[in-house]
Amino acid sequence: MASVDTTILLRLLEAAPNYVSGSILAEELGLSRVSIWGHLEKLNKAGFCFEAIRNKGYRLLSGPYTIHKNFLEAYMLKEQVSSRLHYLSVVDSTMTEAEHQLAMGCEDGLTIVASKMTRGRGRRGRSWLGEDLGNLYLTFAFRPDMPLVKMQRFTLWIGASLCEILNKDYGIPLQIKWPNDLMYAGRKCAGILTESRVQGDKARDIILGIGINVNSSIKDWPEELQQKAISLEAIVGRRFNMNALAAHLIGTVQKSYQTFISGSHEASFEALWACHEYLRGQEVIAQLENETVNGRVIGLGEQGNLILALESGKEISLEAAEVTLAKSYKNIKN
């Protein structure tokens, strides 16, 4: 059951821009009107701004831009996202936390969100900036019992679904760079990391981590990221309500997971991928485990592998590689 603060915020969000009567809130929650006032005072100190009008009640004028557990929960309930939220202000990595939660028997689809990570993980053993700078750090703990061969396509499907929603609902034309980078104008805006525990040829569970640069300012990042990365705020020139955005993206991932598990994603996978992919037709350099190859991207294989045509005309299929454009983004666009 939702807490008092979450329920108050949910009712205010549902009623916005109208007012919610204090006595109706008090009655629903089984509390006195003074107690409701006390909760609003506490939320006010946490960055919420309310308007109170005699005989009308309260309305929400604004909320914090950073993640606030109850505000995020309220948005998730408003969006009818049924997954449970596990919020941590600080954690080593939301991936590690998901491992603990799965080991302790958590339910399928638990969503973990942190404001700060002290040991954020990226792909290929790299670290991921986890500072509390206005970025979103999300991990989902799924128990799909899915054939391992589907894992690559699962990550691609989630990436393309995120591009679709960011494009459709926020007008942000991100593209997905195989296998898991969300790009804008040659810069990385988000990354996806998928890990799993394997039993035989099945993925017993999947830990899906997503890091999105949202309201962070490029100048606050380490120098090596300043040329390579970008935030949603820098793309559109305005700050995002992180709680509303996070709830919408969490709902998108949960729905996309269900679609994938049921197999109904198959009908739209190719079209969605083609609509958002970044590399098709591009000359690329692929760093494999022991060698580097140059080629042109010609598409995806059945399991989500990247198919390259080499200069010799030979086609190769890449299961895992670090792929970069052979020419800089600027050169290609000009």
Binding positions for ligand BTN, rule: CB under 6 A:
93-95, 117, 120-123, 126, 128, 137-139, 180-181, 191-193, 209-211
- Shortest separation between residue 240's beta carbon and ligand BTN, angstroms: 17
Residues near 277 by beta carbon (within 8 Å), at least 6 away in sequence = 160, 175, 176, 177, 178
Give the C-alpha separation, 298 to 28, whole Å.
58
Rounded to the nearest whole angstrom, what is the least distance from the CB of residue 157 to ligand BTN in the complex?
Answer: 16
Least Å distance, CB 245 to ligand BTN, is 15
Shortest distance in whole angstroms from residue 188 CB to ligand BTN: 7
Question: 114 and 88 in contact (C-beta within 8 Å)?
Answer: yes
In sequence order, which ranges of the chain are alpha helices (DSSP H)? 4-15, 22-29, 33-45, 69-78, 94-103, 151-170, 223-226, 232-236, 242-262, 266-276, 329-333
Residue nearer to ligand BTN on the CB measure, 212 or 300: 212
18 versus 118: smaller Cβ distance to ligand BTN: 118
- Cβ neighbours around 52 below 10 Å, total: 12
Distance from chain centroid for Cα 276: 16
Give least dist CB 158 to ligand BTN, A: 12
Tokens of 212: 């999105």
Residue type, 200: G
Nearer to ligand BTN, 25 or 192 (CB): 192
> Which residue lies nearer to ligand BTN by CB, 73 or 181?
181
Neighbours of 77 (CB within 10 A): 19
- Please report how close the Cβ of residue 211 comes to ligand BTN at its closest, in angstroms: 3
Whole-number Å distance between alpha carbons of 247 and 307:
35
- Based on CB atoms, which residue is closest to ligand BTN, 177 or 265? 177
CB of 18 to ligand BTN, least distance (A): 36
Pairing of strands 202-213, 146-147: antiparallel
CB of 112 to ligand BTN, least distance (A): 8
Name the residue nearer to ligand BTN (CB basis): 58 or 178.
178
- Long-range CB pairs of 270-273 (<8 Å, 24+ gap) are 272/157, 272/160, 272/161, 272/164, 273/156, 273/160, 273/176, 273/300
The end-to-end CA distance of the chain, in Å, is 55
Using alpha carbons only, give the angle 240, 243, 246 rounded to the nearest 5 degrees: 90
Pick the closer one to ligand BTN by CB: 9 or 138: 138
Residue nearest to ligand BTN (CB): 191
Residues 6 or more apart in contact with residue 331 via CB below 8 angstroms: none
CB of 321 to ligand BTN, least distance (A): 14
Nearer to ligand BTN, 123 or 143 (CB): 123
Which CB, 122 or 173, lies closer to ligand BTN?
122
